[in-house]
Each structure stands twice: as C-alpha cells, then as structure tokens.
Amino acid sequence: MSAPPPWQPGTQYNYGDIVVYESARYKIIQPHFSQGDWAPPIVPALWGRIPDDEWQKHEPYNPPHDKGDYHGQDVHQPDDCTKHPDRTEEVTHEEQKKKWWDLDDNRKKQLELGGGLLAGAAAIGAGYYAWHEHENKKTEEEKQALTWGVQGWQTDAYARTQEVRNHGPRAPTTWVLVEGREKIPPSAIEAGRDKDNHPIYIARAYFEDSLQIGKASQVFKEGAAIGYGGRVVELNKFEVLIGDPKGIRWVSYSYQLDLQRLGATPVEGGKEANGTPLYIARVKYSGGVHTAKVGTHLPAAQLAFSGTEVSVEDYEVLCLN
C-alpha cells in the first residue's frame, strides 16, 4: 500500500482517510474539516493512531451492545440519486469534488451535452427547494454551478448512507440521507422537542453552495428546515444525524463560539460557502428545544423559526465524548 498523505489543516477528511503526522499514521474516526490546532495527536476523538504493523487495516466503529438500534439497518434506503436514465457522460468521484467554476469550458460543455447535470437538476425539479425571486435572477452559469453542487452533495450523502446500511456505523455519529418526513430513522439523534412535544432531530442540507445545519421533524411539511440569509427554507431531501448517545454530549456556551474555550471537540456539522465550519447547537426557544447552527464567525447560535432566523445567545454545542 502506498504511503498515506500528510495531515493538513483546512482539509475535509471523510471515512476511510488515513494520514501521516510526525512520522505516525492515523485513521479517521469522525469526519471533519480540519483546523490549524486540530493535529491528530491533539484530537484523539477525531483520529486514531495506527500501530506500524497494522496500519493497512481499517476496523469499523463498534457501538455498545446495549444500543442495538444504532446499527444502520433502520436507515431507509434512498433512491439512487447518482444516476439518471438519460445521462451518457459519467462524472468521476474526484471530478465531483471540484467546484463548477474549476472545470474547464470544454468539460462543462461535455457534461451539459451528455447529461452530466441531470441528477442534480432532477433533485431541484422534484422540489428540493423553491426558486425564490432573487434565485430566478441567476445567470445560466450560476444555475449550472448550483445544480452541480446539489448533485455533488447528493452523491456523497448517498454513498455515506449506503455504507451505513451495508456495514454499520464507523463512528459515534453519522450523517445519512433522508427523503421526506416519513423516512427519518429511529436512530436519529433527538436533540429536543417543540412546545407541542414533537421530537426535533438534527438535519443538514446543501443550499447556495453551503452545507447548512437545521432541524427535522415528522410534523414539518417537507421534513426539514434550515435558516439562510435571514429566512427559513423547507426541504424534502436532507441528511439527519444518527448516533450512539453514549458517544456524544452537549456542552453549554454563550455568545460567539471560541473552540479553545469550548474545551471539547464539536461534532462535524456543515460549512459556509467559503468553507468556514458550522457546528451543531441546540437552544431553548418559544417553549421548546430546537437545533440550530453556530460557528466561530457568528455572534450567537442561529435558529430557523417561524419563517425567519433568530439569534440566541445561550446555547449548547454537540461534542464528542
């Protein structure tokens, strides 16, 4: 097996990744976007050191025996959103990781003519989210970039979900793809309840070239809701966080998040369009407990509620034990 790449800050690491840091090899435990002070030896909840004679092995995460509901079999199998019957131009995994703007013009034309954007277009056409007035003003190139981004997120989410269904979870928490409010799995982490005592789950979804954190519930019209640009967007295709309650905890915090002061490792959440990480928060608001988003660039937790985004100064951050 070839030597793993060196660990680097500012990099998205996913399941299966192995890196080298100070001559030692580490395998991923929890997917995350690496920070400058998150070197593998400093964050053992994210990386596990591999003995020299065993580094080629990849052992899955083994949940506690008394948590039989966290094994992946209760996760609904979504439709294969990576394929489209009219697509003749295939998209490689490495290519899908790129931004639309990073592809050369000839490749863009090949994808357009060969149906390389059809899977993403189908998601939007199926009601992934409504076209708002300002979105209708997008140029054709901007719409193609948006479609490409949705398609890339779907492809990754689908693969992640299939991995959980086939092999079980490999970490204390895992994001899985969900279509509609009826398909939220029993192993979804319940973060709170609304004022009418309906369970609230942790959700995230692709929107405007970002991966936004929100909430999901069986009582929501579409299944999930996120906040973006001051408004609430409802979605019927999203990811929910499933996990082992013994592997996570909620850490209290107030005002703008400082990871050094937090004193714990936050669970992978989402990211802004510029790559700035978003983390999972929960807040008490209007008689209920709801999931929200928080980041080091935000003044407080941001909650999607009743058609608008609300800033909440006191909140909790979901962290690994």
CATH of residue 53 = 2.10.10.90
Are 250 and 317 a contacting pair, CB within 8 Å?
yes
Whether 117 is in a domain gets the answer no
Q: What is the pLDDT of residue 126?
A: 43
Q: What is the pLDDT of residue 122?
A: 58
Q: What is the pLDDT of residue 121?
A: 55
- SS3 of the chain: helix, strand, coil, percent, to 5: 20, 35, 45
> How far apart are the C-alpha atoms of 87 and 106, rounded to whole Å?
17
Residue after which a domain boundary falls, among 59, 86, 105: 59
User: What single-letter amino acid sits at 12?
Assistant: Q
CA atoms in the 13 A half-sphere facing the CB of 229: 9
Are 87 and 115 a contacting pair, CB within 8 Å?
yes
Whether 90 is in a domain gets the answer no
Whether 29 is in a domain gets the answer yes
Whether 103 is in a domain gets the answer no
Whether 109 is in a domain gets the answer no
93's enclosing H/E stretch is: helix 93-96
> DSSP letters along 266-302, please?
BPP-EE-TT--EEEEEEEEETTEEEEEEE-TTSSSEE
Residue after which a domain boundary falls, among 59, 90, 106: 59
One domain, residues 175 and 38: no
Residue whose C-alpha is closest to residue 208's, from 116, 155, 270? 270
**Tokens standing for 33?**
């976007």
Q: What is the pLDDT of residue 101?
A: 72
> How far apart are the C-alpha atoms of 262 and 5, rounded to whole Å?
30
Beta strand extents in the chain (DSSP E only): 12-13, 18-21, 24-28, 32-33, 47-50, 173-179, 190-193, 199-207, 210-216, 224-228, 231-235, 237-243, 248-254, 270-271, 277-285, 288-294, 301-305, 308-312, 314-320
pLDDT digits (tens), the chain, 321 positions: 567 889 988 787 876 788 899 888 888 877 777 877 788 888 776 788 887 655 444 444 454 434 444 555 566 665 555 555 555 566 776 776 777 778 878 877 777 766 666 555 555 544 454 444 455 566 777 777 878 788 888 888 888 888 888 877 778 899 999 988 778 888 899 999 999 999 999 999 999 889 999 999 999 988 999 999 899 999 888 999 998 888 899 999 999 999 999 999 999 899 999 999 999 999 999 999 999 999 999 999 999 999 999 999 999 999 998
One domain, residues 191 and 314: yes
Are 147 and 112 a contacting pair, CB within 8 Å?
no
Whether 158 is in a domain gets the answer no
Residue after which a domain boundary falls, among 59, 92, 107: 59
Q: What is the pLDDT of residue 269?
A: 92
Whether 81 is in a domain gets the answer no
Whether 112 is in a domain gets the answer no
Q: Which domain holds residue 48?
A: 1-59
- The count of structural domains within the chain is 2
pTM of the model: 0.73
| Placement of tokens 């966080």 in the chain | 241
